[in-house]
Amino acid sequence: MASPNSSDLSPHFLLASLPGLESTRFWMATLLCFIYLLAVTGNCAVLCIVRLEPGLHAPMYLFLCMLAAIDLALSTCTVPRVLSCYWFNSREISFSACLAQMFFIHTLSAIESTVLLAMAVDRYVAICHPLRHPAILTNAATARIGLLATARGVLFFLPLPLLLQPLPFCSSRVLSHSFCLHQDVMNLACASTTPSVVYGLTAILLVMGLDALLICLSYLLILKAVLGLPSWKERLKVFSTCVAHICVVLAFYVPLIGLSVVHRFGKDLAPVVHITMGHVYILVPAVLNPIIYGVRTKQIQRRILSLIHINSNRTAQ
């Protein structure tokens, strides 16, 4: 058997392109760039507004800032490289750069999952134990949760590139996505990947799987408390405080599950399906999260309208 990476003194992979759509690749990349800029603008706006609005200096909106920062990092570590692939046909990515990108994608996704769980716990405490909420979820506690989420993501997903590092990649180097994911890279190895398969599945179940289960449990307890209220008007008013978070959870987990299903059962699907699902997984949460909370939060709406008014006055002058 060939030694690790012996077939190439400079190991590399080829990012997936859009097969059969070469003539429209430029316009597809332009659309992708527009969506990326929309995500960057929206998440930067959330960070700035929460910082400038004292009324938003509360755990739920500090968690929202964490989501914005994660989405910015996740989209920025992938989309520019994808645009380079589409616009300049620069498909080659080095082995080390691919492993680094893979680590950041999975680690940031794990951190986002943990923050979503923390937001669910925040809603549970606010609704089921409102008198204890200010004492339990302080801003300092929120910051510690953010650090814990980061440490958890790094510790669970750092082994993924380390397990792939010594493997030989002697056959096809063409990925099925326009960026590097663990399962995608692992499938190109020409040696046993059992340790990597077992650890990858374990990490996903212990992070995203456990988080999703605990989020569902939190909302079952919230639903039980809401149904105990005397009137439907009160029930709807209380539960409406959870709507934005539920939408954000769905925006994260639905593309994640969709991508997993495509990897597991979609081997016979057209390559464009894999590429599209990858883009959805990276960009949909980054685009939707600021919009969801912008629609649901009056302070964010007022600040945005104020900034628009100020900019329009400057333009008029």
Q: List the CATH number of the domain containing 272.
A: 1.20.1070.10
10 lies in some domain: no
232 lies in some domain: yes
Q: What is the C-alpha separation between 21 and 61, in angstroms, rounded? A: 42
* DSSP code at position 188: T
Q: What is the pTM (predicted TM-score) of this model?
A: 0.91
Query: Does residue 263 or residue 135 have the better pLDDT?
Result: 135
What's residue 4's pLDDT?
Answer: 45
The structure tokens listed for 300 are 């964010």
What's residue 195's pLDDT?
Answer: 93
- Angle in degrees, 0-180, between the axes of helices 271-296 and 59-76, rounded to the nearest 10: 150
Please return the burial class of 102, using the count of CB atoms within 10 Å of its CB with bins 0-12, 13-18 and 19+: buried
What's residue 40's pLDDT?
Answer: 96
9 lies in some domain: no
**Total tally of structural domains belonging to the chain:** 1
Query: Does residue 250 or residue 303 have the better pLDDT?
Result: 250
8 lies in some domain: no
What's residue 191's pLDDT?
Answer: 86
Mean pLDDT of 79-86: 91
Question: What domain range includes position 29?
Answer: 23-316
Quickly state the pLDDT bin for 234 (edges 50, 70, 90). confident
Beta-carbon contacts of 263 under 8 Å, excluding residues fewer than 6 positions away, are 181, 183, 184
Q: Which amino acid appears at position 282 of this protein?
A: I
> What's CA 24's distance to the chain center, in Å?
27
What's residue 315's pLDDT?
Answer: 61
What's residue 293's pLDDT?
Answer: 87
243 lies in some domain: yes
29 lies in some domain: yes
93 lies in some domain: yes
269 lies in some domain: yes
Res 132 pLDDT > 50? yes
